[in-house]
Structure 1
Amino acid sequence: MAKAEKGVSAKKIAQERVDILFERAKEARDEPELSARYVSLAREMAMKQRVRLAHYHRRSFCPSCHAYFIPGTNLRVRIQHGKIIYTCGICGAVTRIPLNKKTESR
């Protein structure tokens, strides 16, 4: 039983640290390398502890280069054909998110 309780608390701690790292990435907007490093660390921690990233965290960075998105600076947002299209200004990666009832309610 102690092992199961330990695992749950480790995941909770990992989730808190992931949230802290994303906050730090948001604060370090002026330093793109530092914010990308924070995002990379948060992703590594989440993957290692098998913690899911919240949808607002998943959409706040580039899946290719891990740059923290700042709309208008390194992110272009378009709505076309029922999809939200994020284009990274650093690496040019494109992320398409369907625009349907599920995403509108979030």
Structure 2
Amino acid sequence: MQEIAEERIEKLETLAREAVRAGEPDRAREYVRLARRLAERHRCGVPRSFERFTCDRCDAFLVPGRNARVRLQEGSHVVVRCDCGETARYPYR
């Protein structure tokens, strides 16, 4: 059952990415919310790519240059800032 949930989460990620590129941010938010609820219900995580490109505050699917700003911080972190003001930092090597 968990495998089906993981496949559905990946499909919702693809749909959210396409919705943002088509100019439908509200539909993309709904896909993100569905994917997160599905992951909680089945106790499986969301893929790293999905986790890093969604806003925790407003559930937007982030596309750099369109609704997110991505910067590198002095050799140690990637800083992703959503249009709503939420900032996320991820380490890199």
The answer to whether the superposition gives a TM-score over 0.5 is yes
Amino acid of the residue matched to residue 88 of structure 1? Answer: C
Using the TM superposition, give the Cα deviation of residue 70 of structure 1 relative to its aligned residue in structure 2, in angstroms: 1.2
1:85 to 2:79 alignment: yes
**Equivalent of 2:88 in 95, 99, 104:** 95
Q: Which residue of 2 aligns with 1:18?
A: 9
**Equivalent of 1:61 in 39, 54, 57:** 54
Amino acid of the residue matched to residue 77 of structure 1? Answer: V
Amino acid of the residue matched to residue 39 of structure 1? Answer: V
In structure 1, runs of 5+ residues without a counterpart are 1-9, 101-106
Please say which structure displays the higher CA radius of gyration: 1
Percent of pairs identical after alignment?
37
Using the TM superposition, give the Cα deviation of residue 21 of structure 1 relative to its aligned residue in structure 2, in angstroms: 0.8
Distance 1:58 1:70 in 2: 13
**Equivalent of 1:43 in 29, 36, 45:** 36
Partner SS for 2:15? helix
RMSD: 0.9
In structure 2, runs of 5+ residues without a counterpart are none
**1:75-102 residue CA offsets vs partner (Å, 9 max, x unmatched):** 000111311000001x1100001122xx
Distance 2:52 2:73 in 1: 18
TM-score (norm 2): 0.92
Amino acid of the residue matched to residue 85 of structure 1? Answer: V
Distance 2:13 2:91 in 1: 24
Tell which has more relative contact order, 1 or 2 (C-alpha 8 A, sep 6+): 2
Using the TM superposition, give the Cα deviation of residue 60 of structure 1 relative to its aligned residue in structure 2, in angstroms: 1.6
Moved over 6 A (4+): none
